[in-house]
Structure 1
Amino acid sequence: MQSGAAGPARTDIPQYVPSPMKLLLLLLFRPVDLHYRLRAAGILVPGGRIGQLWKEQAEGGRAAGLYVRRMLLLLVVGSPLATALVGLGLYCAGIPLRGGWAVSALCCSAVGLTLAQVSGLAAGVLLGSLASLSILVGLHATAAGAFGPVEGAGAGVVVGVCLGMVSGLSVGSIASIAIGRGPSVWRLQMAAIVTSVVPMLVWSRLVNTSFAGAVAASALVAFLVSAFRLPLYALEVLASAAAYAVERWTGLPTLHWVPVRHHNLSYLPHPFLSRHLALAVRSRPAEVLAVADACLRSPGNIVVGWPWVVQALERSSAEGARGPHS
């Protein structure tokens, strides 16, 4: 007879792994949701390195292997293809580009593959793909004089903006898929300082101080705008107001429209969200609970979400206790 109890069966649901395009969208806008979806699929370390994920596959985790293959498809095939299309678009628009940008795209994919093996698969895919696109403007267009003298302040601003956008868009997604929550404001501030100081030190030695200062200042601003998703927040404010107004004045259920359900990395509270939840908590407590759960995954709306979790649970419990009327 065998001694000891058998261990719990390992979860392995490859069907939960999103398609490549959906993976990219979730990684950019809903990395916290993606973390828990991959965990539900049976992937133990969603933010892990390629070696860790291959090890999971070797131990029977088919979902981990499928996740790696789809992410590598984005990095090795999708990223160079997208860069080539954008490069052709810029060329057709009359923006001068220094030659060799196709080779640069392949090099970015190679660097991303290295990062995927060292830092994490998600980090490699995001940084490699975004760098491949930004290098068209930040390197090849500036080198061709599209923004003035190569070592001028205008070129420095463009280089800094590209650097800041790549870093800002990546940092939240990389941290979120690894730990299952958005990075704190303090961590973003520290990352912003690093993104600004390092280019200042590097380019002041390689080029000149004025160019380095332009790169550092624009990188800092672009990082903060990108990391805190400020342009997207403006759209979220409009969407929140529209969803609340429609339900308030027409009675049409619109909680599924609220942006907090579609974006995990909003660091500013959404207006009208609390009042919108108040409209629906009596009639649709389950839907309110789903929105409140989404609030708990959004750094700027955690305070909004907690009270409605309690109210929605109390309302659901009360309805369950009453039961159907005979």
Structure 2
Amino acid sequence: MAEGDLPATPVVDSPERVPGALALLGLLVFRPIDLHYRLREAGIRSPAGRIGQLWREQAEGGRAAGAFVARMLLLLVVLSPSITVLAGLGLRLMGVPMRGVYLVSAALCTAVGLVVALVSGLASGVLLGSLASVSMLAGLHAAAGGAFGPESGGGAAMTVGLCLGIVSGLSAGSIGGLASGRGPSVRNVQVAAIATSLVPMLVWSGASSVSFAGAVAASALVAFLMSAFRLPFYALEVLAQAVAYAVERFTGKPTLRWVPVRHHNLSYLPHPFLGRHLALAVRSRPAEVLAVADACLRSPGNILVGWPWVVEALERAHAQEAAAEPHA
């Protein structure tokens, strides 16, 4: 090796830090920013890279990259089609009218996901393929079977648009967070939402009526914004934060581990009572407050809440260490 060349083997290679398949899916949806840093700490240089990039890392000695690829492909090729088929059977047993063979749709979504994994990114392919596979049950098979009214009616159009918007919105936030280690900006989300709403107009305006295409586009736009900004989760987060604060405030039981900001990276609205909750614990548990404040810095809606408490927690921790040192 010539002088100055870098070794091919990564400096850090910890395959044991790569989560299991189901844990990967949960982290990818709810905590993609945490997953980004966890995979980087495991030795993966490109957490959102194409499958070829990750295989190259594996060939250079990166066992963590190999474990990551294997578990993500397990999600896309095995678990996602299986869940789709089981869910389809369940809907059929419940009496929901379904048209077509959803196993074919699941296989098609898996194939598309593999193509995306090759040309765009492994995480992109897995998330889009898996979410699309499940959403096809409602957006294609149930809609075509008349579960939401006439096949070309408003109910079917709204269902198709909702499925398109949810899949695109969830994927946009998660893929952006995994790739960059921070949540997508509001402007980027808005641009992506507009682009998503234009797709139905181009696809369905020629093949169907303009009104059907417009209904799909409108519902896709609304669903994309709600999914990308994770608005349906916000009510639950407000409730969880209020309960956690109240329990610690009135009982003294430590509850910072319950706060939703530690379990969801992509909340774009601030959590009420979070600052007051941190104030309760900063004197006695500065390390725990620092961990929550760090989580705030990864949450687009709670960055301003987190910054002051990072400084405060560090100062408190330093003061405790100084007080614990024996005096000469």
TM category, shorter: over 0.9
TM-score normalised by structure 1 residue count = 0.97
- What letter is aligned with 1:267? Y
1:195 to partner: Cα distance: 1.1
Query: Size of the alignment, in residue pairs?
Result: 325
Give runs of aligned pairs for residues 154-233 of structure 1, distance below 5 A.
Answer: 154-233=155-234
The answer to which of 193-202 and 113-122 deviates more is 193-202
Q: Distance in 2 between matches of 1:214 and 1:321?
A: 64
Give runs of aligned pairs for residues 137-152 of structure 1, distance below 5 A.
Answer: 137-152=138-153
Give runs of aligned pairs for residues 62-73 of structure 1, distance below 5 A.
Answer: 62-73=63-74
- What letter is aligned with 2:293? A
Match of 1:34 in 2: 35
Q: 1:284 to 1:106 in 2, by over 3 A?
A: same
Q: Distance in 1 between matches of 2:142 and 2:129?
A: 19
Match of 1:315 in 2: 316
Q: 1:111 to 1:6 in 2, by over 3 A?
A: closer
Q: Distance in 1 between matches of 2:202 and 2:154?
A: 16
- What letter is aligned with 2:170? L
2:272 is the alignment partner of 1:271: yes
2:37 is the alignment partner of 1:47: no
**5+ long unaligned stretches in structure 2:** none
2:124 is the alignment partner of 1:117: no
2:59 is the alignment partner of 1:58: yes
What's the CA shift string for 1:212-271, capped at 9, x where partnerless?
A: 111011111111111111111110000000000000001000000000000000000000
The answer to which of 112-121 and 190-199 deviates more is 190-199
1:7 to partner: Cα distance: 4.9
The answer to which of 194-203 and 81-90 deviates more is 194-203
- What letter is aligned with 1:110? A
Q: Distance in 1 between matches of 2:75 and 2:253?
A: 39
Q: Distance in 2 between matches of 1:322 and 1:143?
A: 70
Q: Distance in 2 between matches of 1:75 and 1:223?
A: 22
Secondary structure of 2:215 counterpart: helix
Q: Distance in 1 between matches of 2:291 and 2:120?
A: 33
Match of 2:236 in 1: 235
**5+ long unaligned stretches in structure 1:** none
Q: Distance in 2 between matches of 1:299 and 1:183?
A: 8
1:100 to partner: Cα distance: 1.4
1:325 to partner: Cα distance: 6.1
1:322 to partner: Cα distance: 2.0
What's the CA shift string for 1:28-79, capped at 9, x where partnerless?
A: 0000000000000000000000000000000000100110000000000000
Q: Distance in 1 between matches of 2:298 and 2:2?
A: 43
TM-score normalised by structure 2 residue count = 0.96
Give the % identical residues.
Answer: 71
Q: Distance in 1 between matches of 2:173 and 2:309?
A: 26
Secondary structure of 1:233 counterpart: helix
1:112 to partner: Cα distance: 0.2
- What letter is aligned with 1:277? L
What's the CA shift string for 1:261-308, capped at 9, x where partnerless?
A: 000000000000000000000110000000000000000000000000
Q: Distance in 2 between matches of 1:147 and 1:285?
A: 53
Give runs of aligned pairs for residues 99-138 of structure 1, distance below 5 A.
Answer: 99-138=100-139
Q: Distance in 2 between matches of 1:12 and 1:152?
A: 54
Q: Distance in 2 between matches of 1:152 and 1:3?
A: 68
Q: Distance in 2 between matches of 1:5 and 1:166?
A: 46
Q: Distance in 2 between matches of 1:196 and 1:6?
A: 48
Secondary structure of 2:40 counterpart: helix
- What letter is aligned with 2:169? G
Match of 1:17 in 2: 18
1:323 to partner: Cα distance: 2.0
1:171 to partner: Cα distance: 0.5
1:201 to partner: Cα distance: 2.4
2:324 is the alignment partner of 1:286: no
